[in-house]
Amino acid sequence: MEHYDRAETWDRETIERVQLVRLKNTLRQALRSPFYKDLLGRAGVSPENMRNLADLRQIPFTSKEHLRAAYPYGLVSVAKDELVRFHASSGTTGTPVVVCHTQDDLDCWADLMARCMHMVGIRRGDVFQNIAGYGLFTGGLGIHSGAERLGCLTIPAGTGNTRRQVKLLRDMRVTALHIIPSYALYIGNALLEEGEDPRSLPPRIALVGAEPHTDEARRRIEDLLGLKAYNSYGLSEMNGPGVAFECLEQNGLHVWEDAYIAEIVDPDSGEPVPDGEQGELVMTTLCRRGMPIIRFRTRDLTCFLPGDCPCGRKHRRLARIAGRVDDMLIIKGCNIYPMQVEQILMSFREVGENYLIVLENEAGMDRMRVQVEVRSEYFVDDMRALTALQRKIANRLRDEILVTPKVDLVQQNSLPRAEGKAKRVEDRRHAGI
């Protein structure tokens, strides 16, 4: 295995030994913040209690609500003049959460990110275009710093302006890029519609992440743009991107256990679930001084993939994120995740890249409507063909989610598109119309 740094090659024993040492240090550091002084004090937990990694479970969870209540500086564990940057989550699920970093924290993050990129074959000399928001959102500066650390010629392209993005990709002979999956599909299709071949674009590697997407969507990105797409997972509370990343095997994301402790728990009981079983990811920082966060409930659903990865890395693998705990829709008593719907939709070649799940209430009954863009070549005048397609999609969805949704077929590019992360669900149940 070619590696970026030593920690990437550690065996299980080394990883776990280092984790315990770093956990104790992290607790010591965290106790300097008003928030953890209070939380750990009340729970009676001190670094000395941690005799092995399982002792971690004595520590209470930290939730997004905690972070919001401690806004803005309640979790800071260093003198303020040591802080050099702050970021915030994009606020997909409410008020943003702020995270402050020291210079060491940023260096460590850049190295983790560089390790991810190196793992999928990006090297010094590559030309890297970062198509991500450069504001408080961590996908901008986070990925940017990793790319520079690796020695790539890094283009801070930002989001939007598809034409300019494409021009940069071509003119600069970009070899690798970062892009959110919904925008990758959009750019590819925009080119197709203009009669251009998106596969002729120079990049051979894409990092895709920041929003839930299925393996089907990934394959579409790869086919459409003629490159390899690797799943990138992270969240602002844990720095941002660089937390877990797919290797060349494209089968699960290695979570960097020298820098984090990952647990997967039952979202209701908080108890650990066995490998292979889905639960909520809980994360602890091990290399952060400015603002350590311990046992953070990410709300993201995944599982540990059992067994070793053929690539040889011993950092455990997370399955593709199935969705957020909060994403679960309950319709007529059935639990439904938007990614189940996406998986079915993407398996129809007639279906385009954009879709929207609309929740409605009709005479007191909740109902689900799925609006689906149909590719231009299939959006024909033949009513019978379209009705048959509509029925086929509704039936396949019913088999998967056990509820029969109403399916609307709409023209390509007619559904609203978000600037950043795609919005897949619109709840009109309490709209009062």
Task: Pick the piece of the chain touching ligand ADP (CB under 6 A) from 71-79, 198-206, 216-224, 225-233.
Answer: 225-233
Sign of CA dihedral 135, 137, 140, 142: positive
Closest CA to 230 of 255, 209, 256: 209
Q: Is 244 in the site for Zn ion (CB under 5 A)?
A: no
- Between β-strands 351-362 and 425-427, what pairing exists: parallel, antiparallel or unpaired? parallel
Contact string 80-119 vs ligand ADP (x = CB under 6 A): ---------xxxxx--------------------------
Three-state DSSP string of 13-62: HHHHHHHHHHHHHHHHHHCCCHHHHHHHHHHCCCHHHCCCHHHHHHCCCE
Residue 17 CB, nearest distance to Zn ion (Å)? 22
Residue 215 CB, nearest distance to ligand ADP (Å)? 11
Q: Could you give phi then psi for residue 263, rounded to 5 degrees?
A: -130, 155
Q: Among 233, 256, 355, 379, which residue sits at the site for ligand ADP (rule: CB under 6 A)?
A: 233
Q: Is 46 in the site for ligand ADP (CB under 6 A)?
A: no
Residue 382 CB, nearest distance to ligand ADP (Å)? 37
Give the total of residues touching Zn ion (CB under 5 A). 5
Spatial strand order of the sheet with 406-411 comes to 406-411, 365-374, 351-362, 425-427
Give the total of residues touching ligand ADP (CB under 6 A). 20
Q: Among 26, 231, 284, 371, which residue sits at the site for ligand ADP (rule: CB under 6 A)?
A: 231
Q: Is 209 in the site for ligand ADP (CB under 6 A)?
A: yes
Secondary element (H or E) of residue 262 = strand 260-265
When the beta carbons of 214 and 412 are compared against ligand ADP, the nearer one is 214
> Which among Zn ion, ligand ADP, none contacts residue 390 (Cβ within 5 to 8 A by kind)?
none
| Cα–Cα distance measured from residue 238 to residue 232, given in angstroms and rounded to the nearest whole number | 13
> Which among ligand ADP, Zn ion, none contacts residue 90 (Cβ within 5 to 8 A by kind)?
ligand ADP
| Cα–Cα distance measured from residue 59 to residue 85, given in angstroms and rounded to the nearest whole number | 28
Task: Pick the piece of the chain touching Zn ion (CB under 5 A) from 178-186, 249-257, 354-362, 383-391.
Answer: 249-257
Instruction: Tell me the angle at which helices 162-171 and 181-193 cross, rounded to the nearest 10 degrees.
Output: 90
Q: Are 198 and 187 in contact (CB under 8 A)?
A: yes
Footprint on this chain of ligand ADP (rule: CB under 6 A): 89-93, 137, 209-212, 231-236, 298, 300, 321, 324
